Amino acid sequence: MDIPAFEKLRDKQIITDDDLEKIKAFKTSQPVSVHWDLRTILYFGIFLFTTGTGIIVYKNIDTIGHDIIIAVIALCCAGCFFYCIKKAKGYANKKVQSPNVWFDYILLAGCLLLLTLIGYLQFQYNAFGSRWGLATFMPMVLLFISAYYFDHLGVLSLAIVNLAAWTGITVTPLQILDENDFSSERIILSGIVLGAGLVAFSLLTLKRNLKSHFAFTYKNFGTHILFIALLAALFEFEDIYLIIFPVFAAVAFFFYKNALKENSFYFLVITLLYSYIAVGYFVIRLLEITGGGMGSVYLGLFYFIASGIGLIRVLMHYNKIIKSNDSIQ
């Protein structure tokens, strides 16, 4: 219950002071919901269970035996998916409610065990050989299918992470990963393409009403990946930073307008923060062109102090506007 909204109604004399007091009293007398607290504990329990499984495998691999460990993980994974398939309501373009309270957690456990199983097979038996892309592609496909069929946002997030891993391994020579050289041009460019693709797919999901509640997850991952990749390009490709910066500015302006249109303070914040980093880098480069020296250092310090204060004031301003719009709605 949004008390500020009722206070606005009181100020406009749509309701009386007595009505407002009754509403406040009613709100304070309502029981406190522990729904999300319990869900958080259960999700955390699933992650602890799967993490513990991995630790047990690592610590006792010589005494238990590979075949027994693989068999146990495979049976647990198969049991989770068998239960979910049996209880699932089937695919639908709209949001599908879980059949019971345990369904989401059992599905998440099954998917995490699947990743553990495939990773174990590749590490111990080199099941996919040197084709590391295939080792990430197969679980990625299974996770996307599971996310859409069972309608699970957590599994969708796992699938997108696997998509990012598969993209990085596919476009990058294996020796680059072995040498931990993540400044590769291929990785940066693939990040830009992947981020833009995820954002575009989120818009398509909304337009086609194809699991439209998945759109935020796609957009969230895509926005961060795209901005980080563009920042990496700005830092890495120093010779063409004057070309990359306008591209970054255009992308930031798109997200800025979209955040205001959707009344999303979250996307507005991350857009302004990433933009602040890019503009700060651009200012430093301009100061370097002027010849450096103590004058440039003082100008740089003054810029970061003033811009930091300005950023905070801008965020506070838009926070009030967005909260006001939420209250009206």
For 233-256, how does the pLDDT look when each residue is reduced to its tens digit (9 = 90+)?
998 888 888 899 999 999 999 999
Ordered alpha helix ranges (H), the chain? 3-11, 17-28, 35-59, 61-64, 66-87, 103-125, 132-150, 153-171, 174-178, 185-208, 215-236, 241-262, 265-289, 293-328
Look at residues 149, 171, 193 and tell me which one is the last residue of a structural domain.
171
Please give the tally of structural domains in the chain: 2
Q: Does 93 lie in the same domain as 15?
A: no
315 occurs within a structural domain: no
265 occurs within a structural domain: no
pLDDT (tens digit, 9 = 90+) per residue, 22-76? 777 766 655 555 455 666 776 677 777 777 777 776 676 666 677 788 888 899 9
Q: Does 42 lie in the same domain as 117?
A: yes
Q: Does 85 lie in the same domain as 42?
A: yes
Q: Does 51 lie in the same domain as 17?
A: no
- Do residues 192 and 230 lie in contact, with contact meaning Cβ atoms separated by under 8 Å? yes
88 occurs within a structural domain: yes
241 occurs within a structural domain: no
Q: Does 64 lie in the same domain as 105?
A: yes
277 occurs within a structural domain: no
The C-alpha atoms of residue 111 and residue 77 are separated, in whole angstroms, by 7
- Do residues 194 and 184 lie in contact, with contact meaning Cβ atoms separated by under 8 Å? no
Q: Which pLDDT band holds residue 177 (cuts at 50, 70, 90)?
A: very low
Give residue 53's identity as a one-letter amino acid code. T
For residue 327, pLDDT over 50 is answered with no
For residue 227, pLDDT over 80 is answered with yes
Q: Does 48 lie in the same domain as 95?
A: yes
- Do residues 191 and 225 lie in contact, with contact meaning Cβ atoms separated by under 8 Å? yes
For residue 179, pLDDT over 80 is answered with no
Q: Does 77 lie in the same domain as 37?
A: yes
Q: Which domain holds residue 8?
A: 1-30
Q: Which residues of 101-138 are buried (b: 16+ CB within 10 A; e: fewer)?
A: eebbbbbbbbbbbbbbbbebbbeeeeebeeebbebbbb
Q: Does 16 lie in the same domain as 122?
A: no
Q: Does 164 lie in the same domain as 40?
A: yes
133 occurs within a structural domain: yes
268 occurs within a structural domain: no
Q: What is the pLDDT of residue 164?
A: 87
232 occurs within a structural domain: no
- Do residues 267 and 202 lie in contact, with contact meaning Cβ atoms separated by under 8 Å? no
The C-alpha atoms of residue 289 and residue 281 are separated, in whole angstroms, by 13
